[in-house]
Amino acid sequence: MNMIRMTFVLSYLLIVNGNILAQSYQLNSLVGLDSVNVVVDIQSDSDHSYDEDNLIDKTELRLRRNGLKISENRFNSTVFIRFLIKDITLGTRNVGYSISYELMLSQGTILLSNYQYVEPAIWLRSGVSLIGDDYTRDELTRLTDQLLDTFLNELLTANPD
Protein backbone atom coordinates (compact mmCIF):
# COMPACT_ATOMS: atom_id res chain seq x y z
CA MET A 1 0.00 0.00 0.00
CA ASN A 2 2.82 2.44 0.86
CA MET A 3 4.54 1.67 -2.45
CA ILE A 4 1.34 2.54 -4.32
CA ARG A 5 1.09 5.87 -2.48
CA MET A 6 4.74 6.67 -3.16
CA THR A 7 4.30 5.83 -6.87
CA PHE A 8 1.21 8.06 -7.00
CA VAL A 9 3.01 10.99 -5.33
CA LEU A 10 6.05 10.64 -7.61
CA SER A 11 3.81 10.47 -10.68
CA TYR A 12 1.87 13.53 -9.53
CA LEU A 13 5.04 15.55 -8.91
CA LEU A 14 6.41 14.62 -12.33
CA ILE A 15 3.19 15.65 -14.06
CA VAL A 16 2.89 19.03 -12.35
CA ASN A 17 6.63 19.78 -12.16
CA GLY A 18 6.56 19.61 -8.40
CA ASN A 19 8.99 21.09 -5.91
CA ILE A 20 9.84 19.94 -2.42
CA LEU A 21 11.57 22.66 -0.41
CA ALA A 22 13.62 22.56 2.73
CA GLN A 23 15.25 25.51 4.39
CA SER A 24 17.80 26.24 7.00
CA TYR A 25 19.27 29.66 7.56
CA GLN A 26 20.35 32.19 10.12
CA LEU A 27 18.98 35.66 9.53
CA ASN A 28 21.63 37.22 11.76
CA SER A 29 24.38 35.85 9.51
CA LEU A 30 23.24 38.22 6.75
CA VAL A 31 23.58 41.41 8.82
CA GLY A 32 26.24 43.69 7.32
CA LEU A 33 26.90 41.47 4.29
CA ASP A 34 28.16 43.75 1.53
CA SER A 35 30.29 41.63 -0.81
CA VAL A 36 30.24 38.04 -2.04
CA ASN A 37 31.97 35.69 -4.44
CA VAL A 38 29.69 33.57 -6.70
CA VAL A 39 30.27 29.90 -7.56
CA VAL A 40 27.88 27.73 -9.62
CA ASP A 41 28.32 23.95 -9.77
CA ILE A 42 26.14 21.76 -12.02
CA GLN A 43 26.55 17.98 -11.88
CA SER A 44 24.49 15.78 -14.17
CA ASP A 45 24.34 12.15 -15.20
CA SER A 46 22.42 13.04 -18.37
CA ASP A 47 23.76 13.91 -21.80
CA HIS A 48 22.70 17.56 -21.56
CA SER A 49 25.28 20.33 -21.34
CA TYR A 50 24.75 23.32 -19.07
CA ASP A 51 26.21 26.81 -19.15
CA GLU A 52 27.50 27.51 -15.63
CA ASP A 53 29.08 30.81 -16.74
CA ASN A 54 25.68 32.11 -17.89
CA LEU A 55 24.14 31.33 -14.49
CA ILE A 56 27.10 32.99 -12.74
CA ASP A 57 26.67 36.14 -14.85
CA LYS A 58 22.91 36.29 -14.19
CA THR A 59 23.43 35.69 -10.47
CA GLU A 60 26.16 38.34 -10.16
CA LEU A 61 24.04 40.88 -12.04
CA ARG A 62 21.04 40.21 -9.81
CA LEU A 63 23.14 40.52 -6.64
CA ARG A 64 24.72 43.77 -7.88
CA ARG A 65 21.27 45.21 -8.62
CA ASN A 66 20.41 44.55 -4.99
CA GLY A 67 23.44 46.37 -3.60
CA LEU A 68 26.00 43.60 -3.11
CA LYS A 69 29.52 43.93 -4.42
CA ILE A 70 31.02 40.96 -6.26
CA SER A 71 34.44 39.86 -5.02
CA GLU A 72 36.84 37.40 -6.61
CA ASN A 73 38.37 36.64 -3.21
CA ARG A 74 37.34 33.07 -2.39
CA PHE A 75 38.06 33.65 1.30
CA ASN A 76 35.27 36.26 1.52
CA SER A 77 31.64 35.27 1.84
CA THR A 78 30.74 32.99 -1.06
CA VAL A 79 27.35 32.29 -2.62
CA PHE A 80 27.34 28.69 -3.86
CA ILE A 81 24.57 27.54 -6.18
CA ARG A 82 24.64 23.79 -6.74
CA PHE A 83 22.53 21.54 -8.95
CA LEU A 84 22.57 17.74 -9.05
CA ILE A 85 20.53 16.43 -11.99
CA LYS A 86 19.52 12.76 -12.10
CA ASP A 87 17.60 10.87 -14.77
CA ILE A 88 14.41 9.13 -13.65
CA THR A 89 13.90 5.94 -15.64
CA LEU A 90 11.25 3.26 -15.81
CA GLY A 91 12.91 0.22 -17.28
CA THR A 92 15.05 1.66 -20.07
CA ARG A 93 12.86 4.70 -20.75
CA ASN A 94 13.69 8.15 -19.38
CA VAL A 95 10.51 9.64 -17.89
CA GLY A 96 11.87 12.77 -16.25
CA TYR A 97 14.50 14.38 -14.10
CA SER A 98 15.14 14.95 -10.43
CA ILE A 99 16.99 18.18 -9.67
CA SER A 100 18.46 18.66 -6.21
CA TYR A 101 19.37 22.31 -5.74
CA GLU A 102 20.74 24.60 -3.07
CA LEU A 103 21.94 28.11 -2.46
CA MET A 104 24.47 28.28 0.34
CA LEU A 105 26.25 31.29 1.78
CA SER A 106 29.58 30.41 3.35
CA GLN A 107 31.92 32.57 5.38
CA GLY A 108 35.59 31.86 4.82
CA THR A 109 37.22 28.54 4.10
CA ILE A 110 38.59 25.95 6.51
CA LEU A 111 41.70 24.33 5.07
CA LEU A 112 42.24 20.66 5.87
CA SER A 113 45.22 18.42 5.19
CA ASN A 114 45.95 17.04 1.70
CA TYR A 115 44.79 20.25 -0.04
CA GLN A 116 41.17 19.71 0.96
CA TYR A 117 38.91 22.40 2.33
CA VAL A 118 35.47 22.88 3.86
CA GLU A 119 33.07 25.74 3.16
CA PRO A 120 31.07 26.32 6.38
CA ALA A 121 27.45 27.28 5.61
CA ILE A 122 25.97 30.25 7.46
CA TRP A 123 22.77 30.41 5.35
CA LEU A 124 21.21 27.64 3.27
CA ARG A 125 18.13 27.01 1.18
CA SER A 126 17.66 23.74 -0.70
CA GLY A 127 15.05 21.63 -2.41
CA VAL A 128 14.21 18.98 -4.95
CA SER A 129 12.36 19.54 -8.20
CA LEU A 130 10.83 16.71 -10.21
CA ILE A 131 10.05 17.50 -13.82
CA GLY A 132 8.79 15.52 -16.79
CA ASP A 133 10.65 14.49 -19.89
CA ASP A 134 10.07 17.89 -21.52
CA TYR A 135 12.96 19.24 -19.44
CA THR A 136 14.61 22.48 -20.55
CA ARG A 137 17.58 24.47 -19.30
CA ASP A 138 15.10 27.18 -18.33
CA GLU A 139 14.31 25.10 -15.23
CA LEU A 140 17.79 25.81 -13.84
CA THR A 141 17.26 29.54 -14.40
CA ARG A 142 13.83 29.35 -12.75
CA LEU A 143 15.23 27.51 -9.72
CA THR A 144 18.15 29.96 -9.47
CA ASP A 145 15.71 32.88 -9.51
CA GLN A 146 13.61 31.19 -6.83
CA LEU A 147 16.65 30.70 -4.60
CA LEU A 148 17.88 34.26 -5.17
CA ASP A 149 14.42 35.68 -4.38
CA THR A 150 14.51 33.97 -0.99
CA PHE A 151 18.13 34.95 -0.30
CA LEU A 152 17.65 38.61 -1.29
CA ASN A 153 14.42 38.89 0.70
CA GLU A 154 16.23 37.59 3.80
CA LEU A 155 19.17 39.92 3.09
CA LEU A 156 16.83 42.93 2.92
CA THR A 157 15.09 41.81 6.12
CA ALA A 158 18.44 41.53 7.93
CA ASN A 159 19.64 44.92 6.58
CA PRO A 160 16.60 47.24 6.52
CA ASP A 161 18.61 50.45 5.97
Cα distances from 49 to residues 39, 85, 99, 102, in angstroms, run: 18, 11, 14, 19
> What is the set of domains in the chain, with CATH numbers?
2-158 (3.30.160)
Q: In terms of C-beta density within 10 A (0-12 exposed, 13-18 middle, 19 or more buried), how is residue 27 classed?
A: exposed
CA separation for the pair 18, 14 (Å, rounded) = 6
Stretch among 13-17, 45-49, 134-138 having the lowest mean pLDDT: 13-17
Average the pLDDT over each of 42-46, 80-84, 91-95, 128-132 and give the range with the smallest value. 91-95
CB count in 10 Å sphere of residue 152:
17
Say what the pTM is: 0.75
Sign of CA dihedral 59, 119, 69, 103: positive
* pLDDT tens for each residue of 127-158: 888 887 666 677 888 899 999 999 999 999 98
